Amino acid sequence: MIDFHYWQLLLFPLFFVFGWAAARIDIQHLVRESRALPRSYFQGLNFLLNEQPDKAIESFMNVVKVDPETVELHFALGSLFRRKGEMERAIRMHQNLIDREGLPNDLKLQAMAELGQDYLKAGLLDRAEEIFLRLRTSSRDEEAKRNLLEIYQLEKDWEKAIAIGEEMPEYATQKEIAHYYCELAGTEMINSRPDNARRYLDQALALHRSCVRASVIQGDLLAQEGQDEGAIEAWQHIEHQNPAYLALVAQKLQEAYLRLGRRDEGLQLLRGYLAAYPSLDLLDTVFRLVLEGEGPEAAYRLVRDELRRNPTLLGLDKLLEAQVLVVAPERRADLELVRNLVHNHTRRLARYRCDNCGFKARQFYWRCPACGGWETYPPRRSEEFDLLP
């Protein structure tokens, strides 16, 4: 049993006294510090809280004039200038910090990182790259690598992007790096170097077996070389990778079958894809092929059956287009009027939409031009998002 002495009770009031005194000292210290700060400092904070950056900048500039040693305010002002797009002032603010004598190393590295961001946003990619290369192997190495990866993508320097992406697998996924290889393959195709293109595509598929883009380019490469059988095989492989992307190669498939003299076989294949993987783009391709090969009656039946299965305004647009061709001449003018009204409305729906940022475009992109995400555009029109999983 622990011995207890009554005199120990006297310690409790002492503890309370010491705690009260320590708190009192801290409060007095805070009050002295707050009185030492200029009124403009608090005005600037108030403007920031009320989302008035212009007035906040003006107030903080007044503080800096009174006390030039306020490093934190220099950082805050530099960030505010960058957010407002005043890049020259942001660059000047951060460069002044870097040039300041006696600045601790961690703050100097922070100022360099901020300056790199300034150059990057200003589009001065060479200067930004120089800054972030200097930050490699420092305490800001990870941040430097992320920014260098963005710079190399903007510069389309895919070899460097691959090299630095492989250093940070938690940030640059295998799917993204496979797209870098596809970019290189596309460049080699343009420059008539098919063997190099083929090597890059093999690397892309070795890294990411489900890289649809690599299969698309493989088919394009084989078709250019007159190997339509191989092109068809490459494009058909997309069904095992992600069948939603078959619509992107539907027209190419049919053209390859036409060159081989096997039109009906190609159309049968595409009809099967449409039945298994409904898509407005695929419907449009099959509709055109049936219209050209079998006539408006067959095209009308195709779209009517598909519209019953998947009712969409874009499908209705195709149905009216086919019906205009088969309707009696005296009713054609009225039907064309209705079709034009529907068509003008559906043009707003016939767009691809980025899953990441919601940016819409009439053209399909492997990389979103707005947010820079890779493969964030599903190959479906915006109207289909509400109808298909």
CB-based contacts of 382: which residues, under 8 Å, 6+ apart? Answer: 349, 350, 351, 352, 353, 360
Distance CA(261)–CA(80), nearest Å, equals 65
352-353 and 360-361 beta bridge pairing: antiparallel
354 is in an annotated binding site: yes
Q: Could you tell me the two tokens for 197? A: 């293109």
Angle, alpha carbons 375-378-382 (nearest 5°):
140
Q: Is there a binding annotation on residue 182?
A: no
**177 CB burial (10 A radius; 0-12, 13-18, 19+):** buried
SS3 278: coil
Closest to 231 (Cα-Cα) out of 211, 212, 209, 256: 256
- Phi, psi of 367, rounded to the nearest 5 degrees: -125, 125
Q: Rounded distance, CA 273 to CA 247, Å?
A: 9
Quickly list H helices, the chain. Answer: 11-36, 39-49, 53-66, 71-84, 87-99, 105-122, 125-134, 141-154, 158-165, 174-190, 194-207, 212-224, 228-236, 238-241, 250-259, 263-276, 280-294, 296-309, 313-326, 329-346
As a whole number of angstroms, the distance between CA 76 and CA 82 comes to 10
Q: Which residue has the tokens 């020259």?
A: 88
Which residues are annotated binding-site positions?
354, 357, 368, 371
Which residues are annotated binding-site positions for Fe cation?
354, 357, 368, 371
